[in-house]
């Protein structure tokens, strides 16, 4: 949903999907940007022109449009995170409850075939009672460089800390899989590599200004945007940095725009690695690792239970279940969904429109088991993130 980050590489499919849904279900996809556009101002003060709105503004531009949309009677699908202010999360949840509107947050991983299958297997008791969960978010070296060193999410004061901007999906999934609230946690990490101190001798401000280590630096911008072996990613990245996606257009963007900067000469401050250890109220413990320093992106997961273990690889769409008693190993190969957050974008849109059509009532099961209780899940999740990022002034005195 964001045009500047491969974290939202489903930009074009998502837009085509929302246009299709709007045609069928009278969903208004206009963003309500406070004082940002004529369409936004018109939508925020006129009588409702549709059943629902999708609010897809940048991280720190969510609260006001969401409040206005709910006040006008719209059902709301709000891009994550709800807000970087815990108080605003609480107020949004309360406001949605009072207005009796569908209010959903785009935590799309719950709606992927990958994670919904894992949740079903746990609920069926396939590995007994879950005891320990280990989740790793492999951001990928090029993704970190694009979005969180050179890009829009590089600074916490302009967007959000990494744990909220990127890893809110993962903490949400951990709460969902554990099936309980997080009681205690500890977290540590930092910005280790992408700093001025690690710049190679003689490295210029821009890669194209005669970088002396261009042949060996994995973050050399022309290699990421013009010589990427993954042509799908390369095409998406080109469109993220320039409207002109020809080679010359991309080179011009690298000469003049933020994405051509040396990764060691940027003004980034978000972490490039972080670990969170969590204990849930039902006794389950979990660890989450976010790291920039991987070849491929995607998430890997291991869940250890009393009767077996489950291992899963999201990028490969495979789930492996081992049974302690029989020694049997079952491998589930899910159909690849390509982009669209592993199919989660389509899943959440399907369930959201289904709920809107029913006036907020579930006529069929909701895939993520989430829509309709969003405000409370979102507040609880934001509390987890507040503690994970060391936000002791968050306004939460405990995670319950």
Express each pLDDT in 193-209 by its tens digit. Answer: 999 999 999 999 999 99
| Closest C-alpha to 190, from 128, 253, 273 | 273
DSSP 75: E
What ranges in 307-361 are assigned the alpha helix state H? 339-342, 344-357
pLDDT at position 24, please?
A: 34
The chain-wide mean pLDDT, for the chain, equals 80
CB 10 within 8 A of CB 240: no
Chain position carrying tokens 């969960």? 133
Give which of 83, 81, 1, 76 is closest to 43, Cα–Cα: 76
The pLDDT value recorded for residue 379 is 45
Confidence (pLDDT) at 10: 26
Instruction: Convert 169-186 to b/e letters by CB count within 10 Å (16 or more is b).
Output: bbbbbbbbbbeeebeebe
**DSSP 8-state code for residue 149:** I
> Per mean pLDDT, which of 151-160, 237-246, 251-260, 390-399 is the most reliable?
251-260
- Report the C-alpha gap between 24 and 26 in whole angstroms: 6
> Are 92 and 82 within 8 A, CB to CB?
yes
Q: What's CA 120's distance to the chain center, in Å?
A: 22
Q: What is the mean pLDDT of residues 345-358?
A: 83
- Pairing label, strands 318-323, 308-313: antiparallel
Element (H, E) at 105: strand 103-105
């Amino acid at each position: 949903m964001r045009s500047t980050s491969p974290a939202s590489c489903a930009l074009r499919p998502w837009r085509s999907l929302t246009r299709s849904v709007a045609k069928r279900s009278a969903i208004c996809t206009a963003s309500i940007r406070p004082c940002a556009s004529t369409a936004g101002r018109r939508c925020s003060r006129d009588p409702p022109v549709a059943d629902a709105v999708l609010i897809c503004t940048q991280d720190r531009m969510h609260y006001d449009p969401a409040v206005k949309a709910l006040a006008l009677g719209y059902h709301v699908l709000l891009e994550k995170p709800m807000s970087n202010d815990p108080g605003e999360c609480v107020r949004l949840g309360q406001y949605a409850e009072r207005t009796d509107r569908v209010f959903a947050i785009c935590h799309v991983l719950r709606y992927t075939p990958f994670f919904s299958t894992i949740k079903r297997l746990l609920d069926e008791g396939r590995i007994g009672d879950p005891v320990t969960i280990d989740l790793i978010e492999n951001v990928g070296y090029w993704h970190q460089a694009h979005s969180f060193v050179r890009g829009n999410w590089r600074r916490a004061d302009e967007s959000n800390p990494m744990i909220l901007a990127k890893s809110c999906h993962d903490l949400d999934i951990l709460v969902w899989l554990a099936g309980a609230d997080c009681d205690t946690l500890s977290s540590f990490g930092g910005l280790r590599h992408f700093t001025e101190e690690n710049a190679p001798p003689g490295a210029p401000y821009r890669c194209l200004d005669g970088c002396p280590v261009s042949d060996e630096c994995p973050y050399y911008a022309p290699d990421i945007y013009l010589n990427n072996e993954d042509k799908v990613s390369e095409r998406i990245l080109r469109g993220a940095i320039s409207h002109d996606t020809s080679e010359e257009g991309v080179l011009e963007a690298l000469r003049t725009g933020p994405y051509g900067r040396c990764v060691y000469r940027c003004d980034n401050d978000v972490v490039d690695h972080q670990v969170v250890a969590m204990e849930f109220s039902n006794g389950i413990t979990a660890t989450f690792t976010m790291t920039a320093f991987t070849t491929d992106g995607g998430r890997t997961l291991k869940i250890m239970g009393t009767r077996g273990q489950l291992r899963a690889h999201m990028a490969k769409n495979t789930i492996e279940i081992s049974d302690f008693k029989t020694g049997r190993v079952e491998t589930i190969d899910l159909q690849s969904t390509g982009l669209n957050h592993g199919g989660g974008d389509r899943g959440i849109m399907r369930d959201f429109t289904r709920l809107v059509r029913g006036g907020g009532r579930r006529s069929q099961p909701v895939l993520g088991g989430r829509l309709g209780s969003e405000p409370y899940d979102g507040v609880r999740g934001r509390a987890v993130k507040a503690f994970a990022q060391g936000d002791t002034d968050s306004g939460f005195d405990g995670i319950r």
